[in-house]
Structure 1
Amino acid sequence: MTSEFIDSLHDVFSTLQPVTTRRMFGGTGLFHSGLMFAIVIDDLLYLKADKETSQQFIHEGCEPFTYSRQGKQVALQYYSAPDCIYDDPDDAARWAQLAFSSALRSRRS
């Protein structure tokens, strides 16, 4: 994983500052206000989703984060980030807020 990619995400998520990072799960978790709203695995960014937001990710063609456990594929409630967030600060802010809102709801349940 390149630290340049992780560092660039602070700019991408500038509207959600402060964003902190922590190595975990073989990747890096991105946190805001103590909640993980995104994870980077193999230089791919995945954003937190839930029942209220997952259809928006699917509509954009985003893929769920999956991993293999005991020979079975397991999907987490994280989806690949749409490419537009790297080019458009307004899109980045919207998707960051969706991910953080999902993290807030999951904390409450």
Structure 2
Amino acid sequence: MASSNEFAAHCLELLSPLGPARSRRMFGGHGFYVDDLFIGIAAAERLYLKVDDDSRPRFEAAGCEPFDFDTKDGKRVVLGFWSAPDDALESPVLMQPWARMAVQAALKALNSKKPAARKAAPAKAAARKTKLSPAPAPAARTTAAPAKKTIARKR
């Protein structure tokens, strides 16, 4: 049996044709990103890919299983990730249609999130920073005209 890190490296190789792929250790396994979209999880030597309502039936039809776990208090948690078909783990070419569905599901999830409310504190901090920044140096003058004196006002 391959080590967890070897399996993660294999999964990265399978996902890399879709774009820049990287993994990150999390929850005793690995999380996978393509173009900084979170699209997969490796746990217990299985690769789980992100699904949505459109792609879930294809994963079900291929005999895939959902990623789930039990919490400490005995509750079953099922996430929106399903195992990749066994044959897709054989090559990047066989993985591509499944990984593309995962990328699509991740994009849909990202685009369906409501934009966060703007926070006043960062905007005020940026405004203060701008006011406290030194004024840009004046451009070199080519004429002998006297420079006008300007007074900055506080707002």
TM-score by length of 2: 0.66
CA positional deviation for 1:46: 0.3
What are the Cα deviations for residues 55-100 of structure 1, in whole angstroms up to 9, with x where unaligned? 1000001000001122121110000110111224332111110011
Letter in 2 for 1:93: Q
Runs of 5+ unmatched residues, structure 1: none
Alignment-derived partner of residue 105 in structure 2: 102
Comparing 84-93 and 97-106, the one that deviates more: 84-93
The residue correspondences of 1:22-101 to structure 2 (distance < 5 A) are: 22-69=24-71, 70-101=73-104
Q: Secondary structure at the match of 2:53?
A: coil
Aligned 8 A contact 2:15 2:34 in 1: no
How many pairs are equivalent? 109
2: CA distance, partners of 1:86 / 1:65: 17
2: CA distance, partners of 1:35 / 1:88: 21
Alignment-derived partner of residue 12 in structure 1: 14
Letter in 2 for 1:7: A
Counting strand residues as a fraction of each chain, which structure ranks higher? 1
1: CA distance, partners of 2:28 / 2:13: 23
Runs of 5+ unmatched residues, structure 2: 113-155
2: CA distance, partners of 1:23 / 1:10: 13
2: CA distance, partners of 1:32 / 1:11: 11
Q: Secondary structure at the match of 1:20?
A: strand
Structure 1 moving runs of 4+ over 3 Å: none
RCO higher in structure (CA 8 A, sep ≥6):
1
**Structure possessing the higher radius of gyration over alpha carbons:** 2
- Among all aligned residue pairs of Structure 1 and Structure 2, give the percentage whose two residues are the same amino acid: 37
Alpha-carbon RMSD: 1.3
2: CA distance, partners of 1:10 / 1:88: 11
1: CA distance, partners of 2:60 / 2:89: 18
